[in-house]
Amino acid sequence: MSEVIVVTSGKGGVGKTTTTANLGTGLAKLDKKVVLVDTDIGLRNLDVVLGLENRIVYNIVDVIEGNCRPAQAMIKDKKCDGLYLLPAAQTRDKSSVNPDQMRALVEELRKDFDYIILDCPAGIEQGFMNAIAGADRSLIVTTPEVSAVRDADRIIGLLEANNIRDNKLIVNRLNIDMMKHGNMMSADDVVEVLSIDLIGVVPYDEKIVVATNTGTPLAGDGTIVGNAYMNICRRIMGEEVPYENLDVKKGFFAKLGELFSAN
Amino acid sequence: MSQPVAIKGVKSGIVLKLDSRMDFNELLPLIKEKFSASASFFGSAGMALSIEGRQVSEAETTRIIEIIESNTSMKIGAVFTNDELLEKKFSDALRQNGVSSKDAEAERRLGRLEKENAALAAALRQNAAADSASAEIYIGTLRSGSSYACRGSLLLLGDVKQGAEVVAGGSIFVLGNLLGNVTAGAMGDDKAFVMALHLDPLQVRISDALAISEDKDATQKSKKRSIFNRPESDKGTPEVAVISDGHIVIKKFDRTFLNSTEFLKAFDNREENINE
């Protein structure tokens, strides 16, 4: 049975595309057949994050307009077997596609894939409506900032209004040190505000910037961020996975320093 | 015909082209080989089959269908046989109506481009009156998401950024950085080329040939990447991408190139067009 998951946030720049790329990679590493659909027509990014930018010949608008078959537009990932990308068009805009066409496309993809992950554009306009049209469930990405949480709340309302009831929260870019000092909302605070179930917490790590720039997702590579994404993937598949201890192991000197400062 | 057996997929069917001179029994193993090699490509859909290029009897058709159905998971729902090649019929018909096949080829390519990108094809049609030997001048930088098309050659004074698209029926000269996607010779002119002061595009197409840039290497710190491996010393000089033996290759845009037959040929072709 295949599932259609939309990754959305409302606010831009909170990590929807990075999350999509990592979850796709993670699920593919767990032997699932996954297609990532970039619905951000006119501002495509997912291809860059996956490092597949140079291979695009056809795109989602070509598929919808019937210029090519879905299989011709899909790009196989460089590293992961079972991971495919259906890129967005860059020279068109959101109005090139309507929700009915998206629904039909997603139904078509269901035949061949275990997971269809839709990378939603920021905002609540047509692009958002297109992206959620065919979705069974959603993953809402937010950072622990008031503005992002406010937008996420609006998005949850819109998803529920469109009959998407299975909405899970990913708190992205959590800065452990700031949280411990009470300078940043914790994941629990965010969950309390939004009152939906948490499916994962991804700590802030500079590695993710490097990974994005080089087009190599981190999921499943053993780093803390990579493990966080892998755990979200397992939870998506229905496994019970305990929440990881995000307390970063400190080096000897840092511990020593703390000892002194405590005194 | 180059191959004794050729398969071509169309939307809801397959065209099987067979050599008319070979013995039918010699063709059978070749048909089997072709279909088993591409079994996964065809999937398990119901397909119509058109056999072209030679006269086949009913018994022979049955044999062919047996081979196809036992080597792939396709189901053949209908069969058509044409002893003549469809292409030949088309070109004969066109000749009778006084249309040269060169024009027909250009129209066919335009039709295909229309399917791929309606906006660009419309721009090309609009410019249809323009002489194919002339060049348009575009001044400005094309940023991500914008595109420009012209029927003849194009002289672009500015940059073509990643995510931007340029299509020309003739050659493309970019006096700036070329980082986006370009198609030269969009109507099938193999002799067209792409020149830029700094040539580092994501994709270059010339006629039917396509070249894509190298993948980024995670270990490689520099974000520079290029379609073409070339010595560091060559970077920074104007370069040109041309078709050589069906592949796109890069050359320095210098006196050697300007005096080369490739460069001159590109314009010989234009003169022919004018004379016509």
**pLDDT per residue as tens digits for the range A175-203:** 988 888 888 899 999 999 999 999 999 99
Q: Do residues A68 and A46 make contact, with C-beta atoms less than 8 angstroms apart?
A: no
User: Cα distance from A183 to chain B (closest Cα, Å)?
Assistant: 34
pTM above 0.80, yes or no: no
B212 near A CB under 8 A: yes
CA dist., res. A78 & res. A214, Å (int): 13
User: Beta strands B147-150 and A3-8: pairing type?
Assistant: unpaired
pLDDT score, position A146: 92
User: Mean pLDDT for chain A?
Assistant: 91
Check CB contact of B144 with chain A, cutoff 8 Å.
Answer: yes
pLDDT of residue B129: 43
Q: What is the ipTM of this complex?
A: 0.71
Q: Is the pLDDT of residue A142 over 70?
A: yes
Q: pLDDT digit string (tens) for B227-273?
A: 666 655 556 789 999 998 889 999 988 888 888 887 777 765 444 44
Residue A95 pLDDT > 80: yes
Per-residue confidence (pLDDT) for residue A177, from 0 to 100: 87
Question: Stretch A4-18: mean pLDDT, rounded?
Answer: 95
Q: Is A62 part of the contact surface with chain B (CB cutoff 8 Å)?
A: yes
**pLDDT top residue among B116 and A138:** A138
User: Where in chain B is CATH 3.30.750?
Assistant: 5-89
Class (C level, CATH) for B5-89: alpha beta
What pLDDT is attached to residue B227?
A: 63
Give the pLDDT confidence score for residue B102 in this predicted structure.
58
CATH 2.160.20.70 region(s) of chain B? 102-275
What is d(CA A119, CA B8) in angstroms, rounded to the nearest whole number? 35
At position B21, the amino acid (one-letter code) is R
Q: Which two tokens stand for residue A198?
A: 């948490």
| Region label for A15, one of left (φ > 0), alpha (ψ between -120 and 50) or beta (otherwise) | left
Fold of A3-262: Rossmann fold (3.40.50)
Q: Token pair of B9, please?
A: 């997929």
Residues of A in contact with B162 (CB under 8 A): 53
Report the CATH number of the B102-275 domain: 2.160.20.70
Question: Which pLDDT score is estimated for B273?
Answer: 47
By Cβ distance, the residue of A51, A54, A216 closest to B212 is A54
Based on the number of CB atoms within 10 Å of its own CB, is B24 exposed (0-12), middle (13-18) or buried (19 or more)?
middle
Q: Confidence class of residue A25 from pLDDT cuts 50, 70 and 90?
A: very high
User: Which parts of chain B have pLDDT scores under 70?
Assistant: 1-2, 11, 82-106, 109-110, 112-133, 216-235, 267-276
Would you call A54 and B215 a contact, using CB atoms and an 8 Å cutoff?
yes
Calculate mean pLDDT across residues A82-93.
Answer: 94
Closest CA to A156 of A28, A10, A35: A10
Q: Residue B241 pairs with which residues in a beta bridge?
A: B194, B250
Q: Is A57 on the interface with B (CB under 8 A)?
A: yes
Q: What secondary structure does DSSP assign to A181-194, as a single string?
A: TTSS--HHHHHHHH
Of A110, A101, A100, A134, whose CA–CA distance to A120 is shortest?
A134
| DSSP strands (E only) in chain B | 5-10, 13-18, 46-52, 75-82, 135-139, 147-150, 153-157, 165-168, 172-178, 181-184, 194-199, 203-206, 209-212, 239-244, 247-252
Q: Where are the domains of chain A?
A: 3-262
